[in-house]
Every structure is written in structure tokens, then in C-alpha cells.
């Protein structure tokens, strides 16, 4: 059984994978809702499906990039949830989880650009190729104009900040916005890594006490 937390954007999503492999999710897209909803969603899933934290085989947390506040809330949550337990914690590359969801939304995807609005004139960005999911670069704070030059016809763009892209770029790409952001994609990525070694590059086991999200400071958005 697996519990996954996604709070890197305005989406607050908690997903639970039960013993049968069925995934259940509670989700809300509202800025500033994370502190109120995250534990509420966890408790509701526990109550509905009758599990305790000690029953879990793993807890997955979206580790960034993304909202400083949202990432900090989930980091604090897992420290409390896993205190004095033996349940392993895995930090998951947020943009890789987006790309995994893009492959599910659009199985014919070949090139995927995962993005998160970084304000000013930038986005957090990572490029992926699909089937199998791989990346040829690192997470970066990318000027929007530079990203627009990289997007080719039929590329997939997934994440937040889509409305900031040039209209012609949006038209030639296949786009998925915040509605596609879900903690379920962390579970898909983690479970996929049990069978495909390459996917393990996108998550790593971490110590709950010392776990820290991958924050990007304002001086990286110049």
C-alpha cells in the first residue's frame, strides 16, 4: 500500500494505492488550500479505506520544483507522519511525475515538456522523451521565450503557466494544464520503477527527518 502527496502547485492531491492496486484520490485546486486540506485528505482516506501509516509500504512526496509554501507543507507533513515508523519515504521529481501523467493522457507522446510557472518571464522546465520515459537534461529555470523555441509540432506540454506561452506555440503542441496534476502520477512512476530501472532515476529513498524539497530561490529566476 502506498500513500502519495502532491503539493508543488496550487493543486493539493493525496492518493492511496490499496492492496489490490486500486488508486483512490482526494484533490482540490485552490491556492493556499494545502495547509487546510492535506491532513484532512489523508485522514479521510485512512478512515474510508481502513489503513494506518504503519501499514504502508511506502510514502511518496513530490519534492519540487514548485511552490515554496506547498513543498514545505508536504515536507513537514511526512516528517510528522513517519516519525518513529519504519515506512520508507521516497522523494519524487515533480516534473517527471508530470511527464508520466502526460504519457497516460497521450500514449502517442514522444517529446514532453513539463513546466511549472516560475513567475516573471520564466518557468521551471525539464524535457522528457517517452516510451520509455527518459530525460536528456536537468530541471532548469527557463525563460519562456527559450522554451517556446524548443517546442515542436505535436510535442506535449504539461503543467502550469500554459497561458503565458505564445498562442501559436500552444496551438502546435498538445497541452495539459493543472487539471492533469495529480498525486496518482507519483504512484505510477514509483510502481513503474519496480519493473523498469530507468524510472528509478526520478525518485530516491530519503530519511524523513532530514528530507528537504528541492527549492529554487528567487536569484535563480533572473
- What CATH number is associated with residue 33? 3.30.420.40
Given a cut of 80, whether residue 144 has pLDDT beyond it is yes
* 210 shares a domain with 160: no
Cβ atoms of 185 and 24 within 8 Å: the answer is: no
DSSP β-bridge partners for residue 140: 125
* 131 shares a domain with 22: no
* 49 shares a domain with 106: no
> How does pLDDT run across 63-83, given as a tens digit for each residue?
999 999 999 999 999 999 999
- pLDDT band per the 50, 70, 90 thresholds, residue 220: low
Q: Domain limits at 17?
A: 2-93+182-220
Q: Which among 174, 65, 66 has a CA at the least distance from the CA of 110? A: 174
* pLDDT computed for residue 5 by the predictor: 98
Report how far Cα 75 is from the mean position of its chain's Cα atoms.
14
- Give the CA distances from residue 40 to residues 74, 137, 187, in Å, rounded to whole numbers and listed in that order: 13, 37, 20
Amino acid at each position: 500500500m502506498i500513500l502519495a502527496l502532491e503539493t508543488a502547485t496550487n493543486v493539493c492531491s493525496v492518493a492511496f494505492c490499496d492492496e489490490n492496486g486500486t488508486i483512490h484520490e482526494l484533490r482540490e485546486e485552490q491556492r493556499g488550500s494545502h495547509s487546510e486540506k492535506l491532513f484532512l485528505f489523508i485522514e479521510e482516506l485512512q478512515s474510508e479505506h481502513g489503513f494506518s501509516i504503519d501499514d504502508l509500504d511506502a510514502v511518496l512526496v513530490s519534492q519540487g520544483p514548485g511552490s515554496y509554501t506547498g513543498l514545505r507543507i508536504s515536507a513537514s507533513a511526512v516528517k510528522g507522519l513517519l516519525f518513529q515508523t519504519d515506512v520508507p519515504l521516497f522523494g519524487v521529481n515533480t516534473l517527471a511525475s508530470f511527464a508520466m501523467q502526460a504519457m497516460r493522457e497521450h500514449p502517442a507522446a514522444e517529446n514532453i515538456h513539463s513546466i511549472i510557472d516560475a513567475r516573471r518571464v520564466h518557468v521551471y522546465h525539464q524535457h522528457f522523451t517517452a516510451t520509455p520515459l527518459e530525460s536528456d537534461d536537468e530541471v532548469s529555470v527557463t525563460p519562456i521565450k527559450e522554451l517556446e523555441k524548443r517546442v515542436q509540432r505535436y510535442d506535449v506540454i504539461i503543467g502550469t503557466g500554459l497561458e503565458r506561452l505564445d498562442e501559436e506555440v500552444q496551438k502546435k503542441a498538445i497541452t495539459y494544464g493543472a487539471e492533469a496534476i495529480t498525486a496518482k502520477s507519483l504512484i505510477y512512476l514509483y510502481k513503474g520503477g519496480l519493473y523498469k530501472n530507468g524510472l528509478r532515476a526520478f525518485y530516491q529513498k530519503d530519511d524523513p527527518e532530514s528530507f528537504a524539497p528541492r527549492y529554487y530561490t528567487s536569484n535563480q529566476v533572473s
